[in-house]
Homo-oligomer: A and B are copies of this chain.
Amino acid sequence: MSAATVAGKVRSAPEIRRDPVTGRWVIISTDRARHPQDFIREPVRPRGVTVCPFCAGNEDRTPPEILSYRPNGHGWGLRVISNKFPALRVEGDLGRTGDGLYDRMNGIGAHELIIETPDHRLSLAELGSKQVEDLFWAFRDRVLDLRRDSRIRYILLFKNHGEAAGGMIEHTHSQLMGLPVVPIAVQEELDGARRHYEYKERCIYCDVLRQDLEDGSRIVLESDYVVAIQPYAARFPFETWLMPRAHVSHFENSDAAVIANMAWALQTTVQRLERVLEFPAYNMVLHSSPVQEAALPWYHWHLEIIPRLTRVAGFEWGTGFHINPTPPEEAARFLRDASI
């Protein structure tokens, strides 16, 4: 197969490839920046001149709406749209094929954006509490819809806030990717949690919560249904996990009280991080069970929030080897003591 043939083939649609050694899947996308010159400099965007397609009144500048909430009866409060430049597409079949050692499939899946407010000026920390709760209801509504497509094995819900975290659009929004594979870091968690369960017949996350609540030193905040901790082996300074107290493997099976508490905990945690770290870029990733699986006694859904601070060596992300300069007990103390 010549280079031209391969290049021609992948240009037509995104492709998912498997690393033959580790089993890690990667989306090879062609709708985004591709040529060397695209990487060289960030374009200087004339801020204030460009029209934001996520603002109220500009709805015709986005792909068609998938879902919206209109809490006041007039005008939307939250809106879900397809990504204009999706990394994955719903149309077509998986087309799993091998090529000698290598495995690939077509880039089938969903890539949606959840616009959290029509107001460009607000950040997640500044939204009304009902609006943050609606973000989780939108996550849930979209998961319940998309999981009916049996090709979709995992649904990644996340937010990139700020350029250092990969956030390219200023207007506050989250993202959904429905994937035909389970991301490797999630699979490692599932495998590790299952090993613990097979040995002890207990959920390891429930065990972590029990031990950390008793110890107290890594707790950031708690409510009736949710606890925020700095994990014992935090990879990054101020890495924060928000965990439902009660065992639930799938986010979408949580009840209203947990969702309301999680929304409160997320907003409060972000407010504390913004206070202590002066408005850092951050990533939020919801870790949940594969959507086609029944309830799992060993996995416990949770949210991970990772501020993207300077001075973290790039190689750490490539080796899985991390040096964290802030003991999680100290980070927890700073966050507990923050006045918001």
A interface residues, Cβ below 8 angstroms from B: 1-3, 6-7, 10-11, 15, 17-36, 38-42, 87, 100-102, 156, 158, 160, 164-166, 168, 179, 183-186, 188-189, 192-193, 196, 204-205, 207-208, 211, 215-217, 231-235, 237-238, 276-278, 280-281, 283, 285, 304, 306-330, 332-334
Question: How many angstroms from the CA of A280 to the CA of B40 in the assembled complex?
Answer: 8
B321/A6 in contact, CB under 8 A: no
Copy number in the complex reads 2
Contacts of A158 in B (CB 8 A): 315, 319
Question: Is there contact, CB below 8 Å, between A277 and B25?
Answer: no
By a CB distance below 8 angstroms, the chain B residues around A41 are 310
Q: Known contacts A36-B276, A324-B28, A333-B3; decide if A204 and B101 are in contact (CB<8 Å).
A: yes
Which residues on B sit within 8 Å (CB–CB) of A193? 21
Complex alpha-carbon distance, A193 and B328, angstroms: 34
- Known A20-B232, A184-B321; 14 more pairs at CB < 8 Å: A3-B217, A7-B217, A22-B185, A25-B233, A28-B234, A40-B278, A87-B323, A102-B232, A165-B314, A166-B311, A166-B314, A179-B321, A184-B319, A184-B320
Residue in B closest to A166 when the chains form the complex, CB atoms: B313
Nearest chain B CB to A156 CB, angstrom units: 7
Cα–Cα, bound, A7→B280 (Å): 24
Contact sample, A vs B, 5 pairs, CB 8 Å cutoff: A7-B327, A11-B327, A22-B185, A28-B233, A36-B334
**Given the complex of chains A and B, what is the CA–CA distance between A197 and B269 in angstroms?**
47
Closest residue to A87 on the B side, CB-wise? B323
